Amino acid sequence: MPALAVADALRDRGAEVEFVGGERAEAELVPGAGYPFHKLAVAGLDRRNPLRAARALGLAVAATGKARALLRRVDADVVLGGGGYVAAPVGLAAASLRVPLALAEADSHFGVANRLLAPFARRVFLAFELPDRDREKYVVTGRPIPAATGKVARPRARAHFAIGVSEPCLLVFGGSLGARSLNFAAVEAFAESAPCAILHTCGHRDYAELRAVLADRGDPAHYHLHAYAQPFSEVLATADLVAARAGGSVFELAAAGLPAILVPYPHATGDHQAKNARWMAEAGAAVVIPDAQLDAERLAREVAVLLADRDRLEAMSQASRALARPDAAERIADETLALL
């Protein structure tokens, strides 16, 4: 999603943009957004399993050769790496062909691919400040977000999800797969009754099970369950308060000026979700619940306390908005084009 936000900004500036990716969500999202998509076979490097690691390295070597041929064929003027598995072979191919290379690090830690490619890059765009970095090469831009984030009219968004304009609304989400602990805590806490409307985008994995639980409770009218909903800017526009994981979506929460209850995923690489949650909490924009301490009772209590204190909720909203970097995609697009 950050890459698509930058691609839109580049296209607005007259650039032709093509994507290279793997088998993950980008295989659907990128063509759906109208961009040419080139698929490379890659795999994550599993350091605990020598056979899988050897296979991943073999795929990366083969992918680098294919990426060189692809960059020649499309006559690429610049390559922007987004830090995923595919970025390493494409970035190495760009360096070998002397095509200008830029990188974007969307998390609060430096990923493996970006660590490998950073010596070859002319610019590295950071979501968060990282210590001891050359300020000319490493530019803190924030994480790119869709241009519509924070700009959708609430009445239109509420009408789309059949939620009253004046009733308070809690948004619960955990990414495209969902967050199992948060999903079931929310349903247990709010299926019978709630101090607000609940808009819950639970991901595809848990949807059928959660739908069955709600059916057993009589399909309560205040509980709006969806496997996934797009555009996400419209989902955010419905909310007065959010309960979520603490991945890259924290920048979208900030742009939408939303207060949050964050439950960081405890196994995130580099513990970056805990760092993201701490970033929002220290600014006064979020309350953090460790995953091990999350249950229905704790979630219901935190939601009730916040919704009952409108002054605190407004202060959290202002603190959230103060963290926003809504121009990240535009800054990255401009800096990338300046490399040509």
Q: 168 and 268 in one domain?
A: yes
pLDDT of 42-92, one tens digit each? 777 666 777 776 776 777 788 899 999 999 999 999 999 998 888 999 999
pLDDT of 126-170, one tens digit each? 999 887 777 789 999 999 999 899 999 999 999 999 999 999 999
Q: 164 and 75 in one domain?
A: no
Which helix (H) or strand (E) segment is 36 a member of?
none
For the chain, what is the domain count? 2
Q: 194 and 271 in one domain?
A: yes
The answer to the question of residue 149 being in a domain is no
d(CA 135, CA 257): 29
DSSP-based three-state secondary structure for 55 = helix
Q: 33 and 127 in one domain?
A: yes
Q: 133 and 68 in one domain?
A: yes
Q: 162 and 18 in one domain?
A: no
What average pLDDT is seen over the chain? Answer: 92
Domain housing 295: 154-323
Q: 333 and 305 in one domain?
A: no
Q: What are phi and psi for residue 191, nearest 5 degrees?
A: -65, -40
* The two structure tokens encoding residue 219: 């399909």
The answer to the question of residue 148 being in a domain is no
Q: What is the CATH number of the domain that holds 268?
A: 3.40.50.2000
The answer to the question of residue 44 being in a domain is yes
Q: How many residues does the chain have?
A: 340
Q: 211 and 161 in one domain?
A: yes
Q: 299 and 163 in one domain?
A: yes
Specify the residue for token string 């095509």: 99
pLDDT bucket at 177, cuts 50 / 70 / 90: low
Model pLDDT, residue 10: 97
| 176: pLDDT strictly greater than 70 | no
Q: 331 and 269 in one domain?
A: no
Neighbours of 57 (CB within 10 A): 12
Q: 96 and 205 in one domain?
A: no
Strand partners, 104: 125
The answer to the question of residue 116 being in a domain is yes
d(CA 187, CA 173): 12
* The two structure tokens encoding residue 232: 């996400």
Q: 289 and 211 in one domain?
A: yes
